[in-house]
Amino acid sequence: MSTHTIRRAKPTDIPELVTIGLEAATAAHWPESEYERIFETGSVPRVALVADSGGQVAGFIVARCIEKEWELENVVVRQEFRRRGLGRLLIQHLLQLARADCAARIFLEVRESNESARKLYSQLGFRETGHRSGYYSHPVEDAVTYEIVIRM
């Protein structure tokens, strides 16, 4: 099995990020312009990491950092790389960065039926904080909200 490294996303990754996001039905489907904003000065600060497998992007994670409140906006692993621990590794790296940046908490929303992601979040210490009725469209579905407290 090839080795994976977690690194910061670069503007040249954008085409792969768009493709990987669109391939996953339950991921946030951002257009190229939204990924471009990650690298623009003056935009909302974001952290974007990719799991690099021999030069190929196997997965990525994006979080928005509004002062001490971070929001995990998207985490996706390419189908052929799933169940190898990459989703866990990406979130663990994000948690490390949040701790180093003295973030207070990370929150997120996920489709209620997305059991794999919900299991992963719970495993890593996120706790369920509520439901948002009909939050998602195409198809309409409730969101479950989670958070992990980094520091009180």
Contacts with ligand COA, residue ranges (CB under 6 A):
24, 26-28, 74-77, 82-88, 110, 114-117, 119-120, 123
* Distance of closest approach, residue 44 Cβ to ligand COA, in angstroms: 18
Pairing of strands 46-53, 69-77: unpaired
Residue number with CB closer to ligand COA (41 or 138): 138
Is there a contact between 94 and 72 (Cβ–Cβ < 8 Å)?
yes
* Distance of closest approach, residue 61 Cβ to ligand COA, in angstroms: 8
* Distance of closest approach, residue 37 Cβ to ligand COA, in angstroms: 18
Q: Point out the residue whose Cβ comes nearest to ligand COA.
A: 87
- Give residues with Cβ within 8 angstroms of 135, minimum separation 6: 109, 141, 142, 143
Residue number with CB closer to ligand COA (27 or 102): 27
Residue number with CB closer to ligand COA (34 or 87): 87
Helix (H) or strand (E) holding 121: helix 115-123
Q: Hey, how many other C-beta atoms are within 10 angstroms of the C-beta on 83?
A: 8
Residue number with CB closer to ligand COA (7 or 88): 88
Token pair recorded at residue 40: 């623009």
User: Residues for the chain: how many in total?
Assistant: 152
Residue number with CB closer to ligand COA (45 or 85): 85
Q: What is the distance between the alpha carbons of residues 89 and 43, in angstroms, rounded to a whole number? A: 26
